[in-house]
Chains A and B, each alone.
Chain A
Amino acid sequence: MSVLMRATEVIKRPVVTLAGEAVAQVKDIVYEGDGGHVGGFTLAGRGLFAGPLKVALGWESVSALGNDALMIRDEGVFEAPEQVVSRSTARRGDVLGSRVMTDDGTELGTITDVILGVTDVADVIGYEIDSSPALGKDGRRVLIPLPDTLSISGEALMLPSAAKEFVSDDLAGFGAAVQEFRTRLAGGGAT
């Protein structure tokens, strides 16, 4: 069973070695644009005057993703940033603030957070968005599920139009909504 969490809860979370030393904090979460698997994290230093670090952390090097920290064996697991973030990705930037559109041309809203499903792997399974009038949610912040395969076109993130039927107001029950949505897509042969 996967644990659902918001990406913004993971950002700035300390990276702690098994020896108990906090050696960094999470700066960016990097996920594969087509499959949604979290590949790793870029890191920043800790402390008032610390900036971004010139190392990154691959997902396979994370011993545990806890509520209060990311646990790693030691600093030897850090790797070069280009192992985690491709140059083209770095240019494209953050998905927070991007628009979400359906394949029938309806704008659903603007992304305020990304929902992760965490088991042995972490997957991006949904977005939290400030809803547009098209969703009929009075502009409320809602959760919308993602298909197994994602597509990004320019500045907008594209979803199948059926996603509108599986919108949730909170994380409770959102995992089931994602499953139903993906089952619908698989059954309908659409992506």
Chain B
Amino acid sequence: MEWWVWLLIVVLVVGVAVAGFAWLQAKRRSGGVISGGPDARGGDGPGAA
């Protein structure tokens, strides 16, 4: 095969791998609302002196 075909294949493979990794990380970054936490958690938050 021509050299540029190999180059195209490499670029495509690398591109798909990078996009897939970015998608996976974005999915891992997405969160939710978890019910329950350690016992006896307390304290003041925003506005506390």
Q: Residues on A close to B: CB < 8 A?
A: 7, 11-12, 25-33, 37, 39-40, 42, 44-45, 48-52, 58-60, 62-65, 71, 82-86, 88-90, 92-96, 114, 118-122, 124, 150, 152, 157
Known: A49-B21, A92-B35; 17 extra A-B contacts, CB below 8 A, are A28-B32, A28-B33, A29-B33, A30-B36, A39-B38, A48-B26, A58-B43, A59-B43, A60-B45, A64-B46, A86-B36, A89-B36, A90-B34, A95-B34, A96-B32, A96-B33, A120-B47
Please give, as numbers and ranges, the residues of chain A lying within 8 Å of B37 by CB-CB distance: 30-33, 39-40, 84-86, 89
> Would you list 17 pairs from A and B whose C-beta atoms are within 8 A, ordered by A residue?
A29-B33, A30-B36, A31-B37, A33-B37, A42-B31, A44-B31, A45-B29, A52-B28, A59-B45, A60-B45, A71-B46, A88-B36, A89-B35, A94-B31, A94-B34, A95-B35, A152-B35
Q: How many A-B residue pairs have CB under 8 A?
A: 129
